[in-house]
Structure 1
Amino acid sequence: MSQQNVVAEPVVAPRMTGAARRDQILAAARTVFSARGYTASTDEVARAAGVSQPYVVRLFGSKRELFVETYRQASAQVLTALRSVEPGPDAGRRMGDAYVGLLTDRELLLLLMHGFIAGTDEEVGRIARHTLGEAFRLFRDASGADEDEARRFVAQGMLINVLLAVGAADHAGEDAGMDALVKCTIEAIEERNA
């Protein structure tokens, strides 16, 4: 019985469309910017996406434009979740649930926080202001809540975001005030969901 030399054919990955490559870079940018904020480089994003840094710049123009687009997508994700809630008597609770559900995505959470820090950029600031204002309006309109209740909804969401971003629950026992804040914030969510 003779052995034959078998030469395996190289596996060639299907060529990605421009739109798919753009989405791949934006997904990598979301990961990189959520971890390092605006200080991350286009080179880091390119490595994470498996493409060259000049390709990233060719598609997006600059790190700023890439960050703006990544932040725009994250903000749109929040608003889409809130818009998906039908108006009605329990719309406020369902909007809270929709928002809390988004926060299981740590990259989304951290990217939103980095956007607030980078809000000195006019475009990022515009997106952040629109997102906060639209969350306020959507809550008020869907739930029939007054402005004070809608303000508390947005403020509670921001507080939850900050507590999760700093890992407050993971550091129980370090600070009594923080422990109390985490406890009453989590209890408020649990009471709302009861």
Structure 2
Amino acid sequence: METRHRLPAAERRESILAAASVVFGERGYAGATTDQIATAAGISQAYVVRTFGSKEALFVEVARRAVGRIAAAFRSAIEADDGRPVDRRLGEAYLDLIADRGILLSLLHLFSLGSDPAIGPVGREGFLTVYRLVRDEAGLSPEEASHFLAEGMLINTVLALHLHESEDPDALELVTQACGGDLSRFRALAAG
């Protein structure tokens, strides 16, 4: 007889958030269902709902988790002063987040829901959290910080459009510029 090992509640919660991040990233908020998320997490749909209450509440938690991951990655990059300019270290940290399937794409969906009364405020606060972090903690000027965020949004758009998979010369040129010149690494990270 096989004995099943029960995960602690915090680990189950994190596994749901990780699965939801991927599903929301691939399908968007409107297209994702709690049943798809449950299947991806290997649990019942009822458990997802019992844990988070609603798809909206789950999406908000996915968004907060994504912003938290970005903030943690950026703070590590700021602390790891290896002689490279801080904006380069931040950019490298952001690209590394591509490997965590769904985080950057979930954020893109979050930002597209700015007019939603429950989700919009979470998106605005998350975006401003990242802006303040790169401006205040990393020491970028407002102009540098806004340029950095614009490059990050370009990376998110490239991922969402799967331009990194294209063989179109213009797409390859754009993706190569967006990822700092290392297209093969970008593709590997995006492939998971």
Do the structures match in fold with TM over 0.5?
yes
Counterparts of 1:56 and 1:184, CA distance in 2: 40
The normalised TM-score by structure 1 is 0.78
Partner residue in 1 for 2:60: 68
1:119 partner SS: coil
**Offset at residue 94 of structure 1 (A):** 1.1
Specify which of 34, 43, 50 is matched with residue 42 of structure 2. 50
Partner residue in 2 for 1:130: 125
Counterparts of 1:50 and 1:105, CA distance in 2: 18
Residue pairs, 1:40-189, within 5 angstroms: 40-84=32-76, 85-86=78-79, 90-173=85-168, 176=170, 178=171, 180-186=173-179, 189=180
- Post-superposition CA distance 1:19-76 (Å, at most 9, x none): 2322222222222222212121112222222322222211111111111111211121
**Offset at residue 86 of structure 1 (A):** 2.7
Are 2:19 and 1:24 equivalent residues in the alignment?
A: no
For 2:71, give the aligned amino acid. L
Describe the shift of the 1:126–1:19 C-alpha distance in structure 2 as closer, same or farther (beyond 3 A).
same
Given that residues 49 and 55 in structure 2 are in contact (C-alpha distance below 8 angstroms), is that contact kept between their aligned partners in structure 1? yes
- Post-superposition CA distance 1:110-133 (Å, at most 9, x none): 212222223333343223222322
The normalised TM-score by structure 2 is 0.79
Counterparts of 2:62 and 2:45, CA distance in 1: 17
Describe the shift of the 1:22–1:119 C-alpha distance in structure 2 as closer, same or farther (beyond 3 A).
same
2:5 partner SS: coil
2:99 partner SS: coil
Unmatched tracts of structure 1, length 5 or more: 1-9
**Offset at residue 157 of structure 1 (A):** 1.0
Given that residues 75 and 128 in structure 1 are in contact (C-alpha distance below 8 angstroms), is that contact kept between their aligned partners in structure 2? no
Q: CA RMSD in A?
A: 2.5
Residue pairs, 1:2-41, within 5 angstroms: 10-38=1-29, 39-41=31-33
Given that residues 64 and 126 in structure 2 are in contact (C-alpha distance below 8 angstroms), is that contact kept between their aligned partners in structure 1? no
Counterparts of 1:98 and 1:44, CA distance in 2: 30
Counterparts of 1:166 and 1:143, CA distance in 2: 30
Counterparts of 1:77 and 1:127, CA distance in 2: 15
Describe the shift of the 1:110–1:143 C-alpha distance in structure 2 as closer, same or farther (beyond 3 A).
closer
